[in-house]
Amino acid sequence: MEVPGWLETLAERVARTPVPPPLRPPGSGGRPAAVLMLFGEGPLGPDVLLIQRSSRGRRHAGQPAFPGGGVDPEDGGPIPAALREAREETGLDPAGVQVVGTMPELYVWRSDNRVTPVLGWWHTPSVVHAASPDEVEAVERVPISELVDPANRLRLRHPKGPSGPAFRVRGLLVWGFTAGVLDGVLTASGFELPWDRSRIEDLPPDVLNLASR
């Protein structure tokens, strides 16, 4: 399958999108990292691959996320790192993925990571699963139609910070860095639907406890 026009346009747009001040990397320091934003065509239309991190993890425990992790010296850059991490975490076959672009580097202060999101087109989907149980509890292909459904959108308020976008999809509560990136990508893709941004909820205690580790 050829890369769809909407994804090519999205890759061009996000490559030029200014980085919001809270996500701008510092002048020095921070660990290079990469995540794979993998889009495919599923039974319900375009979808994106998400994982749920293990509740036993040291950082971002239990949180939904894009597959990804640190860039190792032998990777040779964020694109090979994103594909390697996705394979290790989900069993993904990188041969079925065509990289269509990258986003500017984003800084995650909690883990001190300088993250490069890599956009990919899943032209030949492979079976995926929680291939690394110590790191991943579940893997989901989430339809874009469910992410943009106004009923699944809200803002979550952290006790120590402002509210941010969130999604309730497929039994997952997507928030934090991943939800922020998804929010921007959905806007740039043209798929976003109007939703009630005044719908604000507190971060659930169980999620907060995991996140506070």
- How high is the pLDDT of residue 208? 79
pLDDT bracket for residue 55 (50, 70, 90) = confident
> Quick check: 57 pLDDT over 70?
no
Tell me what the mean pLDDT of segment 131-138 comes to: 92
Of the options 3.40.190.10, 3.30.1360.30, 3.90.79.10, 3.40.30.10, the CATH number for the domain spanning 5-143: 3.90.79.10
Is pLDDT larger for residue 207 or for residue 94?
94
Strands 153-157 and 136-143, sheet pairing: unpaired
Cα 138 from Cα 54, distance rounded (Å): 8
Phi/psi region, residue 87 (left: phi>0; alpha: psi -120 to 50; beta: rest), is alpha
> Quick check: 60 pLDDT over 80?
no
pLDDT bracket for residue 163 (50, 70, 90) = very high
Tell me what the pLDDT averaged over the chain comes to.
94
